[in-house]
Structure 1
Amino acid sequence: MNDQTSTVLRTEHTGLTVASINGVLDFWTEVLGFQLVYRKELGGGHAMEQVVGVSGAYLRNALLEGPDGYRVELIEYDSPEDRVILKQRPCDVGSAHLTFAVTDLRAMLNRMAPYGWTATGEPQTAPSGTIMVYTRGPDGHTIELMQHPE
């Protein structure tokens, strides 16, 4: 049976699990220009375990909003204890990336560097004139930067 009664209304946010919200909040607010909407502690318990599908989950989060209203949720888990930092390559199934249009790609790379973000290669210019490059952060996330021609 094909149920067409449920549809997507809008994009709410993209969630990124980080080692430490305090450790990345300045990057998101000062470098990328996102505004902090709220911070919450979302204690453990059965309901949270059911939402995230992780037994023993205890977490806190911060919701940030970009210049265009796009929202990113940063999530820091305190438990379970066996968490790991994944450093997937863009070609690995399950890998994802965010893409941000910037005014000056090289200047943004310079601003990101002190926070542990590095380009994965040299910025490239597409036939359209758009300059682009992937960057990798200390928590394993990938952000693509795009500078469109004026």
Structure 2
Amino acid sequence: MGFTVRAAEHTGFTVRDLDQAVRLFTEALGFRELRRAHMAGEFAAQVTGVPGAEIAMAVVEAPGHRIELLQYLSPARHGQAPPRPNDPGAAHLAFEVDDLDAVLAAVEPFGWRPPGSPQVMATGPRAGTRFVYVQDQDGTTLELIQPPA
């Protein structure tokens, strides 16, 4: 191929409120905030393809992965409805947890709720594993996975 993909560097989410998003990942999930930055001008516009982009950014570190949180300060949001998991372009980040119910309780005060309910895989190699999606008001989606004890 002529090139090598060396690593998955991070997963990015555009958020409505950067401070609230950082609090969810640090206070509710126990991740560590690594850094914050502000991006604007030609660099931000060319990287994102959004003319006039001004972005407040934070990076948090999950076990084995980094999450980049981006709050666009400008231009104004388009006001489109949040994507649903079945909409093309929708994405989610999955975390394996040891107590799915405790995580649900921890993220709820931050406005994250399951659009459905936790389910147990009945058959196959992941039989007994519990799964649920949680979403914020913008449709950002995390999947929580609890393997059997």
Please tell me whether the aligned partners of residues 20 and 110 of structure 2 are also in contact (alpha carbons under 8 angstroms): no
Displacement, 1:89? 1.2
Q: Runs of 5+ in structure 1 lacking a partner?
A: none
Q: 1:60 aligned to 2:60?
A: no
Secondary structure of the structure 2 residue equivalent to 1:119: coil
- C-alpha separation between the residues in 2 aligned to 1:96 and 1:77? 19
TM-score, normalization by structure 1: 0.91
Please tell me whether the aligned partners of residues 35 and 64 of structure 1 are also in contact (alpha carbons under 8 angstroms): yes
Q: 1:30 aligned to 2:44?
A: no
Aligned to 1:102: 97
Displacement, 1:82? 3.9
Superposed CA RMSD: 1.3
Q: Which of 98, 106, 126 lines up with 2:121 in the alignment?
A: 126
TM-score, normalization by structure 2: 0.92
Runs of 4+ in structure 1 off by over 6 angstroms are: none
AA matched with 2:101: R
Q: Percent identity?
A: 41
* 1:51-100 C-alpha deviation (Å, 9 max, x unpaired): 0100000111001101x231000001111124436411111111101111
Q: Runs of 5+ in structure 2 lacking a partner?
A: none
- C-alpha separation between the residues in 1 aligned to 2:55 and 2:89? 22
Instruction: Write the mapping of 1:1-150 to structure 2, written as runs, cut at 5 A.
Output: 4-42=1-39, 44-66=40-62, 68-84=63-79, 86-127=81-122, 128-150=127-149
| 18-27 vs 76-85, greater mean Cα deviation | 76-85
Alpha carbons of 1:89 and 1:80: their partners in 2 closer, same or farther (altered >3 Å)?
A: same
| 72-81 vs 85-94, greater mean Cα deviation | 85-94
* 1:7-36 C-alpha deviation (Å, 9 max, x unpaired): 210010001011111122111101111101
Please tell me whether the aligned partners of residues 85 and 139 of structure 1 are also in contact (alpha carbons under 8 angstroms): no
